[in-house]
Amino acid sequence: MPVEWKRSRDYRDILYETAEGMAKITINRPEVRNAFRPETVMELIDAFQAARDDASVGVVILTGAGKEAFCSGGDQRVRGEGGYVGADGIPRLNVLELQRLIRSIPKPVIAMVAGWCIGGGNVLQLVCDLTIAADNAIFGQTGPKVGSFDGGYGAGLLARTVGQKKAREIWYLCRRYTAREALAMGLINAVVPLDQLEEETVRWAKEILEKSPTAIRVLKAAFNAETDGLAGIQELAGNATLLYYLTEEAKEGRNAFLEKRKPDFSRFPRLP
């Protein structure tokens, strides 16, 4: 049965839909192969925050409108001096904030990729937890060709994902890779015929939704801790604090403070 998506929020450059525990966020600029401008990224940040804060959402799907492209990176028509310039005239590289949000949202994000997945678009799929691609998908970086580079997740996480040699090849040569090649190098998780892309992505999302949300949440933070430096460790530690807050032991500390008495932690075991 196809999913009946419900338009839950209104934006200009993106679509935000929800159904059956999933949120689907679609970059909706097919006329420029779903390139993002600063406003697109602001809307994506708002949408990811909405999905994070919605307790009924357990998995987020990020995709691009149409079958021609997932995303072709930054909109080169609005690239000014010092960044991409939106209506407010301020040059920004705000996709970096979006990348961090996709990493830190405590729910799996699945990139659903058809067509071009290039430049900043490829970095977006890279920072997602999982990627399901259609057989027409093409991956690659263009930075050194168009006078740009992403030396953060774009370089470091790519190297952790596909290995140092392959990551250097991808950036230095700016070649394009088919979905099958991307699968073989470990850049993505699965390749399916284009007409089955959403069905397969939803199947993966639903399998995750059957699992323990806290286990999935902590696992995401644990994987990030391995790759994301102190920010990753902060996320993992934040989960420990969250779980600790739910215990009687933590509540005793809070209650003692509020009741202006000495806390009594003696009843809590010191487990091995």
Site residues (CB under 6 A) for ligand LTTK3YTO?
32-33, 35, 72-77, 84, 93, 95-96, 116, 118-120, 142-143, 146, 148, 150
Residue 143 is assigned to a ligand binding site: yes
- The residue among 30 and 253 lying less far from ligand LTTK3YTO, judged by its C-beta, is 30
Place of tokens 């397969």: 200
Cross-strand partners of 23 = 18, 60
Residue 163 is assigned to a ligand binding site = no
Please report which helix (H) or strand (E) contains residue 14, including its range: strand 14-19
Closer CB to ligand LTTK3YTO, 35 or 170, in the complex: 35
Cα distance between residue 47 and residue 9, in whole Å = 8
Residue 9 assigned as binding residue: no
Is 49 known to sit in a ligand binding site? no
Nearest to 61 by CA among 20, 19, 16, 112: 112
**Shortest distance in whole angstroms from residue 186 CB to ligand LTTK3YTO:** 22
Q: Any known ligand binding at 52?
A: no
- Count CB atoms within 10 A of the CB of residue 226: 11
**Minimum distance from residue 83 beta carbon to ligand LTTK3YTO (Å):** 8
Shorter beta-carbon distance to ligand LTTK3YTO: residue 122 or 131: 122
Task: For the CB of residue 129, give the shortest distance to ligand LTTK3YTO in the complex, in Å.
Answer: 21
Residue nearest to ligand LTTK3YTO (CB): 73
The two three-digit tokens of residue 212, written as one number: 């323990």
Residue 7 beta carbon to ligand LTTK3YTO: minimum distance, rounded to whole angstroms: 25
Nearer to ligand LTTK3YTO, 23 or 95 (CB): 95
Count the helix, strand and coil residues of the chain and give each as a percent rounded to the nearest 5: 45, 20, 30
Provide, rounded to whole angstroms, the least separation between the CB of residue 148 and ligand LTTK3YTO: 4
Crossing angle of the two packed helices 213-227 and 229-245, in degrees rounded to 10: 150
Residues 6+ apart with CB under 8 A from 270: none
- End-to-end Cα spacing for the chain: 49
121 is in an annotated binding site: no
Strands 109-113 and 130-134: parallel
Binding residues: 33, 72-76, 84, 116-120, 141-143, 148, 245, 260
